[in-house]
Structure 1
Amino acid sequence: MTSVFRRALGADFDRLHPELQRRFGVDGATHVGCVGTGVMERVWRGAAFTAPFLHLGTLRHVLFPETGEHVPFTIENYAYTDSYGRPTLTFVRTFQVSPHRRRRFDATMVWSEQRGVLVDYLGTHQHLAVDLHLGVDVTGALTIRSGAYRSRGGLRCPATLTGEARLREWYDEGTGRFGIRVAVTNHRFGPLFGYTGSFTLRYLRPDRAPVPAAVRPLRENPRE
């Protein structure tokens, strides 16, 4: 199975830093996945009125209202074929926002062969789907910008109710760590949520690490 990022980026995949090629080349064959462990230097949210919206997201593991600095963080990426036969990669991010509380931000990225686009399904039940626009900058870093959001029924969500997500991930050869920066903004209400930090990775061979049920969505969305 070709990795979903290689499919989405095409020839640009080879412009990624070699460590990013290895990371986003996970396809379930040589490695079933990779697990990152690190620290988010800063986790932030927008103005106070955004808190109820973000708190609602905790019900399905989509965003959360807590903020902090030096927040322990893990990210679990596993490649598999979903029940509809689509190449899939999990993005399960866990933030230790306090000594007694963890928050998760779950997503599954699915390659749509029909539309030729990488679709990001958000949360435990894939209620929201968003097309992703990928790129590679001059330093070999990966960039992602979200497009239109659609509900589980396929209806397009108004822009006033959603946010545009921008991600940049890179590899720092000096520290041997991956860096990440994410920001979600709403065109009317401004910044909503984001985080910045770094992590290291370990890769998992398929004969030693099956895809855990805990990282897969509880329900899959057949719509692309």
Structure 2
Amino acid sequence: MTSIFRTVMGPAFDDLHPQLQRRFSVGLASGEACTGRGVMDRVWHGGAFVKPFLALGATRNILVPRTGRNVPFVIENVPYTDTHGRETVSFVRTFHLPGRPRRFDAQMVLGPQGDRILDYLGTHQHLASDLHPHAEPDGSLLIRSGEHRFREGVVDVRVPELIGATAEVRESYDDETDRFRIQVRVVNKRFGPLFGYEGTFEATYTNIRACGVRPGLRPVREESRA
């Protein structure tokens, strides 16, 4: 068994910086969980029209409804087996903004054909996106989202491009500072940039068999549909 990122990327996974290889090898096979702690230099939004959508999404820990600079940040990548028997890795991001922390939750599983990652968003996994990771020439990792789907009860529909968005995540490792660098942009094809953040963090690794999955990290509801 290999990590979900190595499975999807194949030999290209070895082109990543060694620190990225370790971070994205987190899984049941490695037995490691990874916690990143750092500071986001900037958390930003697009035009004022996006605020109601961000506020709505925040009720289910999808995106972040506030902006800020020099925002303390934590990301928790913890592997576990979900209620449908699939290996899952959490990507739970907490932004310590003034007032109260805000979370952006995602849980990633391997797609049925092993050629993509399924990214389930929020506390109830009502939104799902296909993710396609690539190794860049400088050893960084680029992840682009593909099709988005909305699931609620019997509803299972593709999100139209007009109201959907494309996410692009770039993660690299800075050998001079011994820190990971991350830049995230969420863009609508028609309306332009909607949301993003950028900054740096350090990572620590723990034995998942010893520490387990802390309460509140897993979603309230787990979606079975791929």
Q: Which TM-score band (shorter chain)? A: over 0.9
Contact 2:171-2:181 within 8 A present in 1 as well: yes
- Counterpart residue number, 2:13: 13
- Counterpart residue number, 1:103: 102
Per-residue deviation, residues 118-175 of structure 1 (Å, max 9, x unmatched): 1100001100111011101001101011111011143111111111100100000000
Map 1:1-224; keep pairs closer than 5 Å. 1-98=1-98, 100-114=99-113, 116-152=115-151, 153-224=155-226
CA–CA distance in 2 between the matches of 1:93 and 1:38?
11
Contact 1:32-1:209 within 8 A present in 2 as well: no
SS in structure 2 at match of 1:21 = helix
Per-residue deviation, residues 49-91 of structure 1 (Å, max 9, x unmatched): 1111111111100012211110000000001121212121100
SS in structure 2 at match of 1:212 = coil
Could you tell me which amino acid in structure 2 is paired with residue 92 of structure 1? V
Could you tell me which amino acid in structure 2 is paired with residue 191 of structure 1? P
Could you tell me which amino acid in structure 2 is paired with residue 116 of structure 1? D
Contact 2:34-2:205 within 8 A present in 1 as well: yes
CA–CA distance in 2 between the matches of 1:107 and 1:141?
21
CA–CA distance in 2 between the matches of 1:25 and 1:77?
10
CA–CA distance in 2 between the matches of 1:71 and 1:11?
36
Contact 2:78-2:208 within 8 A present in 1 as well: no
Q: Normalised by the size of structure 1, how large is the TM-score? A: 0.96
Contact 1:40-1:70 within 8 A present in 2 as well: yes
State the Cα RMSD in Å: 1.2
Aligned-residue offset at 1:12: 0.8
| Alignment: residue pair count | 223
Runs of 4+ in 1 over 2 A off after TM superposition: 28-32, 113-116
Could you tell me which amino acid in structure 1 is paired with residue 75 of structure 2? I
SS in structure 1 at match of 2:96 = strand
SS in structure 1 at match of 2:157 = coil
Per-residue deviation, residues 21-73 of structure 1 (Å, max 9, x unmatched): 00000113443311000000000000111111111111100012211110000
